Structure 1
Amino acid sequence: MTTIDEATTWVEAYRDAWLSNDADEVGALFTDDAVYEFRPNDPEPWRGREAIVAGWLEEPDSPETWKFDFEIRGILGDGTAVVQGVTEYLDERPTYENLWIIRLDHGQATHFTEWFMVRKGTES
């Protein structure tokens, strides 16, 4: 069963990987058969660690162009973590409100689904 501390550790490692854009750090976040969805029921998710790493590194964000803050909103009965975040881009891009649903197994995500929407008033 996932705990809030485990979920926090995972999201902090995600943020670190986002900062470094290091393939090994990104890969360490996910199981071999993980699924990464950009929206619920994504018709074209990244499937498998290799695809997730490749997709992530295809268009990486430069670390000096964004800030990310989050709060673990809860752990569901099946151990799925619910994370609310804010991604603030420091360039011309808008700020995003994020909701992540993360299924973890021994510290790695087996399934990651995100919802994101532009924060009102930050549209380009």
Structure 2
Amino acid sequence: MGLEDQVELYPDYLEEAKVEEMLSECDLVVLPYLDNPESSSAAVRTALAACAFVATSPAHLFDEVRGITIGLNGFAPSNIATALREFYDDPRGSNLENIAKRRLEWVEENSWERIGQRSLAMMLGARAEV
């Protein structure tokens, strides 16, 4: 596929700010996780906040973000290759535009500011009931 010069792997620990900075420079982040007992993924949340496009495996820990990520059709390297090929063949396809729009809405809805507003509203509502 000719991606050798475009794919970077970092096996070392990086500070979260550095991770976010690096992810923000990516066209696409691929999270090819296998199924495991985790119920959600902090990695996908970080990637979604920083990068416009995130591809996720069919692992159950990504179920809650299916509509805002590019779904890999399996766990095999060929599934990743297919997703990369499709992404780079049509990087602004209508499906990708829809994913990008839904991702921005999700990021806004799950921002700390929005979470704070909801938490405050719940506390004020609970106080009013007392």
Fold equivalence (TM over 0.5): no
Which is higher, the Rg of structure 1 or of structure 2? 2
- Which bracket does the TM-score occupy, shorter chain normalised? under 0.3
The answer to which structure has the higher helix fraction is: 2
**TM-score, length-scaled by structure 1:** 0.26
The answer to which structure has the higher strand fraction is: 1
